[in-house]
Amino acid sequence: MIRKINHVGIAVSNLDAAVKLYSEVLGLKVSGIETIEEQKVKSAMIPIGESKIELMESTDPEGPIGKFIAKRGEGIHHISLEADDIEKMLAKLSNAGIELIDKKPRIGAGGSKIAFVHPKGMRGVLLELTSKK
């Protein structure tokens, strides 16, 4: 079962400048900044109520966020939905003929399990599934 929107991921070209905008102008607080080597990204999580905004700067022009920005500029990159059981949800999507980027979950920000679903099957939206365990 999907529980909530965990976060909305936004690709930015300069993380410090983006963090400044969200904290100083919008008055939000960053809960943590971390570099996720595997995804070649430096990410800042900003909690807002039950959900978060994830600001992501690429650490490598050849990484997924680097390529995204080169092609489309800054903007919304993905929406992350929180599932109770990520494996079960992946199986459900796969059975429905939806193309998965990650057939098995991997470890994402904060040590959570994540898996990406291809935008082709999701009406043009890159979907990230996440679960705490």
- Return the exposure string of 26-57: e unless at least 16 CB atoms fall within 10 Å of the residue's CB, then b: eebeeeeeeebeebbbbbbbbeeeeebbbbbb
The secondary structure element, H or E, covering residue 48 is: strand 41-48
Q: Decide whether 9 or 64 has the Cβ nearer to Zn ion.
A: 9
Q: Considering only residues 39, 58, 80, 131, which one is a binding residue for Zn ion as defined by CB under 5 A? A: 80
Considering only residues 42 through 61, tell me which ones interact with Zn ion, judged by CB under 5 A.
54
Q: Per rule CB under 5 A, is residue 9 in the interface with Zn ion?
A: yes
Q: How far is the CB of 41 from Zn ion (least distance, A)?
A: 9
Question: What 3-state DSSP class applies to 22?
Answer: helix
39 counts as binding Zn ion under rule CB under 5 A: no
Evaluate whether 121 touches 99 at the Cβ level (below 8 Å): yes
- Residue 52 vs 93, nearer CB to Zn ion: 52
Residues found near Zn ion in the complex (CB under 5 A): 9, 54, 80, 128
